[in-house]
Structure 1
């Protein structure tokens, strides 16, 4: 079990950072151990605070957030929203087809099958906004603006090797961090937060590897 856990830490580590410069810390090559390699690829939502400004990195946006802009207003605009959801459904089906492909093969597959659909959604949104068939400041108009405004990041999975269609896998890991935040409320000093990050990272990594966390901690203490 310990050997399995150590391998998981080496190859599928889940790292947690807390602090004022969260995005900067996550983007630091020396922190993650690849300062001599290419800039890290960071996937997030479109919040500016999630993008490092003082370190080199490659940005990618989670398409689940792009899809949610429309999904959340389905009851008000069922016809328009269904148009987008149907096309996103196709893209996720294509993504399922790439599960066993290499990163290079996956990129080529999405370029061939998914990029055209993304371009179609962008064109559809831009056309409605340009023709003023949708009120720009309505909830539908805001969803339509989101897509072309963040198109570069949303199509990273069609441009960058290793970029994912969505960040759903790590979104589930955030529940562990949120649970601690609700229980602890805050850390008194940064050193305490750093120690908490190490422990949380070990818990999340063991969980990701399918290892019982309690036994794992007893083995490594």
Structure 2
């Protein structure tokens, strides 16, 4: 199940797309004609798409250092270990993002140049220094190698203030499907998987737009039989972010 969603700009849209494999040809086909930035994890299947700048995920990079820290034996003193130094670079970048969370994209872009750029430059030199000095197959070695292999993608978030430092939006959006999959172990046909993808796309997008999924689906089932579904304008009024939706479809503000 492939997951596509919008970022922090515009109305939230979440789309699930069932395919039979994890091959890179599927996102290439789905995103054909799209030009812009694409947030992803480190999977190679997203690489090489024309007109697309791939943006990596610092949450994944940070997780490698967290795992390496867990694998370490107990410390004998308070001196920072190499693993802790690497994790500190990642934590520093996330702290800067918290500081810039509520500013405009333009201000975020300038803030990153001022605060994040020096951290990235120091981290890159740190990775270059420690790479030949750490066992490649160790947990720390894998953390360092991941960052070096993904570096161009990891620092791509610096290109535009609308971009995010991680891919956590997509991670959160795929979670409901992952949690629920044990409920349909015997729903094993392609048609069923495609139907699930459609239903989840509608429900999760509705939730992201502040709608009550039950009330929204009820409204759709009442309205769709009575409109011309080939009329794009009529369909637009039913979309989860439409201002024409009745108030009972929306979750009241607490």
Relative to the length of structure 2, the TM-score reads 0.70
Q: Paired residue for 2:67?
A: 72
User: d(CA) in 1 for partners of 2:90 and 2:150?
Assistant: 16
| Compared CA separation, residues 108 and 84, structure 1 to 2 (3 A) | same
Higher relative contact order (Cα pairs below 8 Å, separated by 6+ residues): 1
Q: Paired residue for 1:96?
A: 98
Relative to the length of structure 1, the TM-score reads 0.80
User: d(CA) in 1 for partners of 2:67 and 2:194?
Assistant: 36
The partner residue of 2:83 within 81, 84, 88 is 81
| Compared CA separation, residues 68 and 150, structure 1 to 2 (3 A) | same
Q: 1:66 Cα deviation (Å)?
A: 0.4
User: d(CA) in 2 for partners of 1:87 and 1:123?
Assistant: 12
Matched, 1:188 2:189: yes
Q: Paired residue for 2:27?
A: 23
Q: 1:95 Cα deviation (Å)?
A: 0.8
Q: How does 1:99-138 map to 2 (within 5 A)?
A: 99-130=101-132, 132=133, 134-138=134-138
State the SS of the aligned residue for 2:54: strand
Q: 1:174 Cα deviation (Å)?
A: 0.8
Q: 1:213 Cα deviation (Å)?
A: 1.3
Q: Paired residue for 2:38?
A: 42
State the SS of the aligned residue for 1:73: helix
Cα shift readout 1:197-221 (whole Å, capped 9, x = no counterpart): 2211111111212322112211211
| Compared CA separation, residues 162 and 27, structure 1 to 2 (3 A) | farther
User: d(CA) in 2 for partners of 1:25 and 1:212?
Assistant: 32
Cα shift readout 1:23-69 (whole Å, capped 9, x = no counterpart): 2244234xxxxx5xxx13211111112x0545532201110000011
Q: Paired residue for 2:225?
A: none
What is the total number of aligned residue pairs between the two structures?
A: 200
Q: Paired residue for 1:178?
A: 178
| Compared CA separation, residues 41 and 129, structure 1 to 2 (3 A) | same
Q: Paired residue for 2:142?
A: 142
RMSD between aligned alpha carbons?
A: 2.3
Long gaps (5+) in structure 2: 1-9, 76-80, 222-254
Contact preservation (8 Å) 1:40, 1:57: yes
Matched, 1:59 2:59: no
Contact preservation (8 Å) 1:23, 1:52: no
Q: Paired residue for 1:3?
A: none
State the SS of the aligned residue for 1:153: helix
State the SS of the aligned residue for 1:179: helix
Q: Paired residue for 1:7?
A: none
Long gaps (5+) in structure 1: 1-9, 30-34
